[in-house]
Chains A and B, each alone.
Chain A
Amino acid sequence: MLELTNLHARVVPEDGPAREILKGLSLAVPAGEVHAIMGPNGSGKSTLSYVLTGKHGYEVTGGTATFEGKDLLSLAPEARAALGLFLSFQYPMEIAGVPVMTFVRAAMNAQRKARGEPEVSAPDFLKLSRVAAAKLKIDPEMLKRPLNVGFSGGEKKRLEIYQMLMIEPRFMILDETDSGLDIDALKVVAEGVNALRGPTRGMLVITHYQRLLDHIKPDRVHILSAGRIVKSGGPELALELEKSGYDQFLKAG
């Protein structure tokens, strides 16, 4: 479903020299699978999520990234979203003056329009929203407030998953979704995420910790270090990491 081959990318800050972050990353996530990416700070985890979704300031210098055979890298961020790519941000943006529901409905309809599908009707939208909010234990009043403005870290993460449930993406990238969540919130969020697992969907879960993977069980675990995958394995790899740390793998890499 998602195939990355020898991907090289650098971050180009507005004020400062470009830095090479991804240095030949190869990865394949077949439909129906959940892959976890673990790695120490600075290994390129967030860069990977931004390169895949097309954020400004990230430049691909080599390699390929395809989604169901389509070249992702030539597409605008909104076109990638319409294909079904969804990023749950590590730090969701606060969008002043735009209520959550207004925003999500605009997003759903923009994607549908891009795919040549009819818009979601107001009653259908409200129904979907009620179900998603209940699943994530979100106070419906919160959905009338400006997106993420004044929300706590945990609320923002919940809102990311709410958007995910509403948009029903084909491929999800979860960037440190566990950070800022207490254990109860983590369970709620993980249940939301698991509800979207299915044979036609794929997922990349980026995390520092095993904790999240107790709740969102991965099919494969990859260790990212210095911009490359240095080790891949089954779920047991995450447990091993938890026990003995990254060092052993970094040396091997």
Chain B
Amino acid sequence: MQLADLPSRRSEAWKWSDLRAAMAGQEGVLTGTAAIDAEGPISALAQAMGDAYGPSALDVAAPGETFETRITEGDAGQYGSVIVRAGATATLVERLNVSGSRLRPFLPSFSRIEVEPGATLHRVVVQANALPAGQADAAIVLNQAVVKLGKGATFRQFVLGEGARLARIEVSVDANEGAQLEMNGVYLASAKRHIDMTSRVTHRAAGVHTRQLVRGVARKGGRGVFQGKFLVERAGQKTDAEMAHNALLLEEGAEVFAKPELEIYADDVACAHGNTAGQLDENAVFYLRQRGIPDTEARAMITRAFLLEAIPQWMAAELYAEIEARIDAWLGTQP
């Protein structure tokens, strides 16, 4: 693979996340990487960079199992598959922690996930930065999951993204009859951070229920990207799908780009999408200040509540608290 093979802003799916430009100067990692196939560049890059699960799949047959993967500089990149057998329940936590010593970290990861009929998978992706700002300024973090849901399977996902020079967390789901989906996310884009949440759900058969709520905030010099697509095929009658993306631009010079899409070929469906990007409601801020809460705290309180609404209750308490703490740290430590 060469730099010129990577998608740039000319490519519709990457128009706001110019991978080619971000990777300039990192050509070394492309050497020996296979050509990009229909699944896009992330799988090829992840395959070349590492194989942390090993050649055999992560195979979950027992209920209630939790798996955690960490993707750090030490084992850059992961490429693997997960299968949750019929009737089993599993939780998969993927941590995309940029850390380590490389000046320009590059962390691609890809997972192929199958949730068999009646099985349940909870997937949590935490893309966070625990390293000097200079490294996060240069880091490129790419994550993709391709998910296949059997009849009546349940897939719930939550993604926290703090961004990097370029971070993209992408998921595509192929949902069979009666599958239940929830795909929420929160992104926090401070200066020099780019966080892209891209998703696509194919409602292949009847009676799929999908809920998506992504909330994001951006400060000056930060950029959030949301691309969400619901495709309802002809057989996808009685699909019930709602997509919402709401962003707050906390400062002048913050950027948010959003493309919510519905493509529907069935005639008996309930599909909706809502997309907003705006500023904090100054009247609400004033209300809090009138009660004595200082301006900075008032803004943080409203922003926090706005973000917390996207964090699902199904998450384990510890994980929930961790996400909450990261949001608080972001709101508190950034002026």
B287 contacts A by Cβ under 8 Å: yes
B293 touches A87 (CB 8 A): no
Say which size band chain B's interface belongs to.
20 to 34
A77 contacts B by Cβ under 8 Å: yes
A92 touches B287 (CB 8 A): yes
Q: Other CB < 8 Å A-B pairs besides A54-B289, A97-B309, 8 of them?
A: A76-B294, A78-B290, A81-B292, A86-B290, A89-B287, A93-B283, A93-B287, A111-B292
B302 touches A77 (CB 8 A): no
Chain A residues with CB under 8 Å of chain B are: 53-56, 76-78, 80-82, 86-87, 89, 92-98, 103-104, 106-108, 110-111, 114, 146, 163, 167
B289 touches A76 (CB 8 A): yes
Which residues does chain B contribute within 8 Å of A82, judged by CB atoms?
292
Chain B 275-327 residues near chain A, CB threshold 8 A: 281-284, 286-295, 297-298, 301-302, 304-306, 308-309
Majority SS of interface residues in chain B? helix
Pick the contact of B282: A56, A78, A95, A163 (CB < 8 A).
Answer: A56
B305 touches A110 (CB 8 A): no
Measured CA separation A23–B304 after assembly (Å): 41
Measured CA separation A54–B290 after assembly (Å): 8
Which residues does chain B contribute within 8 Å of A80, judged by CB atoms?
290
Subset of 17 A-B contacts with CB under 8 Å: A54-B290, A56-B282, A56-B286, A77-B289, A78-B294, A78-B295, A89-B287, A92-B287, A94-B284, A96-B305, A96-B309, A97-B305, A103-B288, A104-B291, A106-B293, A107-B293, A167-B291
Chain B 246-294 residues near chain A, CB threshold 8 A: 281-284, 286-294
B308 touches A95 (CB 8 A): no
Knowing A56-B282, A106-B301, the reply to whether A95 touches B295 (Cβ < 8 A) is no
Measured CA separation A103–B298 after assembly (Å): 10
- Specify which of B286, B288, B292, B302 lies most central, judged by the most chain A CB atoms within 10 Å of its CB: B292
Chain B 178-211 residues near chain A, CB threshold 8 A: none
Which residues does chain B contribute within 8 Å of A56, judged by CB atoms?
282, 286
Q: Which 9 A-B pairs have the closest CB atoms?
A: A97-B305, A111-B292, A107-B291, A81-B292, A77-B289, A93-B287, A110-B292, A78-B289, A110-B293
Measured CA separation A163–B293 after assembly (Å): 13
B288 touches A95 (CB 8 A): yes
